[in-house]
Amino acid sequence: MELKGSNVLVVGMARSGLAAARLLVQHGAHVRATDAKPMESLHGVQQELASLDVPFILQSPAAFEACDLIVISPGVPMDLDLLEQARRRGTPVIGEVELAGWYLQGKTLGITGSNGKTTTTALAGHILRECGIAVQVGGNIGTAPTSMAGNSREGQWNVLELSSFQLETVDRFRAQIAVITNLTPDHLDRHHTMEAYVQAKGRLLVNQTAQDYAVLNADDATCAAFADSIRSRLVWFRGSRRTEAGWSFDGSVVFFEGKPWMEARGIPLRGRHNIENVMAAAGATHVAGAPLEQIAQAVRSFPGVEHRLEFTAEIGGVQFFNDSKATNVDATLKAIGAFDGGLWIILGGKDKGSDYTPLIEPLRRKAHAALLIGAAADKIASHLGNAVPVIRCRTLESAVHAAVERASAGDTVLLAPACASFDQFESFEHRGKVFKEIVHSLESAGVS
């Protein structure tokens, strides 16, 4: 679509919406911006829009009329009535990833999945950089895709973490390498059904050609099922047993095409699920041109990602871990699986339509108690029943203090909420930061 001179409405004025507006203005579009929130509550937006000469208008039926194109931010639901009306009028509605795809130069490595996508994305970027391959990293983390488009160039890899919210609006966007880490129920409050959620994730694969690569989890039946309907070349990884094809793990060694590649003890990330993330990143970067030995060296030097099983402190022999990014049940199960026992686990936040009963058995085996916070506390308590002692705590601070009062040397306090953060925090990052501040304040006070 020719943007120069066209009338474009950007819906949603968070980080990605502002980045989309900047790209559109750069390409000569007449841009207007709107949001469900009033301008006064959108911190820093007014100044940014003024610098772009983009007017902000209230979200109303009139705002969605007389548009040649509507670009929506990931947080804006596709079934918004105003968008439905616009589509019926024939107005194209796209997301930020589709827009970015129009202008991205170089090649794209797209990574999605229910869990592990941030670590896999950051690790893939780290590997390519360490191998001397030009790369920029962003997407759902860090730099918005539309900002990356403006900074892209030929000969470069664009490594993008992509959420289901970003992918559901994809039409022609193509990733030369696509990774799906795993697929478990998530965001059902938005997508309503698992089928719709999986379909959104699968948009990453639909435009691949026979020259492209799909890196898929062979242990995940939902993920593996995509192999029957795609044109791209397959790269498999499997964490359950050694195989002769692709990447695999036997419990102590990672294999590539049946040959030993790297010992697990050389991987600086905690938990078996992170072995899978390493295999996914290695599989993707290897077909992107990174040599096997250099990939292994890069993995050994990877510092990890904030808010993902992040060691925070040890106080009086009690260790504290921040896994605020565990925003769904499967992520929390993986976090629990990284420990042998002695857990005081902090659960709760904004419910995403989840079933918390899968937590019962691992908590029964490994946890002293579950400390519940936020809007989902009652539902979680109901689902857990009498399987594990439950301590209701109104705030994250009270939960940490309750854990400290009860924990003994050798125990672990783990923030792995299994919920979104938006009931009490701006984001999972904000929640993790607050957790770390609370713990470090206790550490400074000499609590033991």
The per-residue pLDDT for range 70-79, each reduced to its tens digit, is 999 998 998 8
| pLDDT value of position 42 | 78
Mean pLDDT for 316-325 is: 97
Query: For 379-415, what is each residue's pLDDT tens digit?
Result: 999 999 999 999 999 899 999 999 999 999 999 999 9
| pLDDT value of position 290 | 98
Mean pLDDT for 151-172 is: 96
Q: Are strands 56-58 and 30-35 parallel, antiparallel or unpaired?
A: parallel
| Fold (CATH) for 310-444 | Protein-Tyrosine Phosphatase; Chain A (3.90.190)
106: left (phi over 0), alpha (psi -120 to 50) or beta: left
Buried b (16+ CB within 10 A) or exposed e, 157-187: bbbbbbbbbbbbbbeebbbbbbbbbbbbbbb
Q: Which two tokens stand for residue 36?
A: 């469900």
448 pLDDT band, cuts 50/70/90, is low
The answer to whether the Cα torsion of 100, 101, 105, 107 is positive or negative is positive
Buried b (16+ CB within 10 A) or exposed e, 99-129: bbbebbebbbbbbbbbbbbbbbbbbbbbbbb
| pLDDT value of position 185 | 82
**Residue 224 pLDDT > 90, yes or no?**
yes
> For the domain 7-91, what is the CATH code?
3.40.50.720
58 pLDDT band, cuts 50/70/90, is confident
Cβ burial of 398 (10 Å; 0-12, 13-18, 19+) is middle
**Residue 447 pLDDT > 90, yes or no?**
no
> For the domain 98-300, what is the CATH code?
3.40.1190.10
Calpha distance 341→32 (Å, rounded) = 54
Q: Which two tokens stand for residue 161?
A: 């973490």
**Residue 1 pLDDT > 90, yes or no?**
no
Q: Are strands 253-256 and 247-249 parallel, antiparallel or unpaired?
A: antiparallel
The answer to whether the Cα torsion of 263, 245, 309, 414 is positive or negative is negative
Calpha distance 231→55 (Å, rounded) = 43
Calpha distance 441→447 (Å, rounded) = 9
| Matching residue, tokens 């059904």 | 193
Tell me how far the alpha carbon of residue 373 is from its chain's centroid.
Answer: 22
Query: For 83-123, what is each residue's pLDDT tens digit?
Result: 999 999 999 999 999 999 999 999 999 999 999 999 999 99
Domain boundaries, the chain: 7-91, 98-300, 310-444
Share of the chain above pLDDT 90, in %: 90
Q: Are 273 and 116 a contacting pair, CB within 8 Å?
A: yes
Please count the helices (runs of H) and the strands (runs of E) in the chain: 17, 20
Residue 333 CB contacts under 8 Å (≥ 6 apart), including other chains: 358, 359, 362
Residue 394 CB contacts under 8 Å (≥ 6 apart), including other chains: 373
CB neighbourhood size of 262 (10 A): 23
Calpha distance 391→371 (Å, rounded) = 5
Query: For 174-223, what is each residue's pLDDT tens digit?
Result: 999 999 999 998 777 777 899 999 999 999 999 999 999 999 999 999 99
Query: For 24-33, what is each residue's pLDDT tens digit?
Result: 999 999 999 9
| pTM of the entire predicted model | 0.87
